[in-house]
Structure 1
């Protein structure tokens, strides 16, 4: 049985993808509003699919649309 290990991204890599500073992602982690993350010891990593899901969950069609 083969297990696929997801690609893990650092906060800098995610920040580059979504045009945010790592410190902004840290605030989002604290508030619970950012993408899901994995904590390994003191290291924070993001699974690629969780970042994609988070981006997709933030697609809106009008500016006043409430976040689900």
Structure 2
């Protein structure tokens, strides 16, 4: 039971731009561009100048782009 609680807490952990970029293997600048233009993972606007990403939103974004062949890409 404790492990489920810990896993749940880890999925909801808020990550800064650098941590999120590391998980996605992209640059912080790419995340900033996606926030401005759209198309990136969901994010939490903590304040006017502070943005965080939920670990679970990053994983969901990755899963939504996972394909098994090139004909699936739109």
- SS in structure 2 opposite 1:50? helix
Give TM-score scaled by structure 2 length: 0.76
Length, aligned pairs only: 64
What is the CA–CA distance in structure 2 between the aligned matches of 1:65 and 1:27, rounded to whole Å?
25
> Which of 45, 50, 62 in structure 2 is aligned with 1:39?
45
Aligned-pair RMSD on alpha carbons? 1.7
> Which of 30, 34, 46 in structure 2 is aligned with 1:28?
34
Q: Shift of the alpha carbon at 1:64? A: 3.6
Q: Shift of the alpha carbon at 1:18? A: 1.2
- SS in structure 2 opposite 1:44? strand
Structure 2 runs not aligned, ≥5 long: 1-7
Higher helix residue share? 2
Give TM-score scaled by structure 1 length: 0.81
- SS in structure 2 opposite 1:45? strand
Q: Shift of the alpha carbon at 1:66? A: 3.4
2:60 corresponding residue in structure 1: 53
